Homo-oligomer: A and B are copies of this chain.
Amino acid sequence: MLYPECLNELIESFKKIPGIGEKSAERYALALSKLDDDDKVLFADSIKDVKDNLKKCRICGNLTDKDECAICSDETRNSNLICVVEDYKSVIMFEKSGTFKGKYHILNGLISPIDGIYPDDINISSLVERITNPEETEVIMAIKPSVEGEATSLYIKKILESKKVKVSRLSYGIPVGVDIDYLDSITLDRALLDRKEITD
């Protein structure tokens, strides 16, 4: 027992966060123990606040502390343009870039029968439900091009197209700033297939 009991428990708590190992947990717990008492109370309270108030938006599945998330309740955004993403982190990435002015739909997972994740286990049915005027709606699939990602995209596309919703996906291709010599061959194949005419 190198540490006093209460510090040990804090270290164990830090270790539960993925990406924090033994050493970092010790360092963070010691550093936290040196913060002002006010900051410690604030930290503890904010964890409990997250536990009590953080939930999923009833429309899109995004994280929120209200019934509807800030994006869904923003009336300046285009409700007919829905970007379907795997999880909350993708929303952050899109919002940081700031170009997309439609709304999101967060699946909170991908179809993966091998892991026991079927269409009913992820947030698909509410996507179908929220589309009220299908012929004016475009759904953009922003899912990573893995086996599970492709399966999920295809599944959603089939359902939505039967309802006359336009379904698109992000283009695949060369990441900006990356040297072609270092690309994997699959990305290069996709970039070739998705090639575009050069316009002035």
Contact = CB atoms under 8 A, between A and B. Distances in A.
Interface of A: 1-7, 9-10, 12-13, 16-20, 26-33, 35, 37, 39-51, 53-54, 63-66, 69-70, 88-89, 92, 95-96
Nearest to A24: B19
B70 A50 contact: no
Nearest to A37: B51
Copies of this chain in the oligomer: 2
A158 B49 CA distance: 54
B9 A19 contact: no
A69 B6 CA distance: 13
A21 B122 CA distance: 32
A71 B45 CA distance: 33
A89 B9 contact: no
A4 B40 contact: no
A6 B42 CA distance: 11
B4 A65 contact: yes
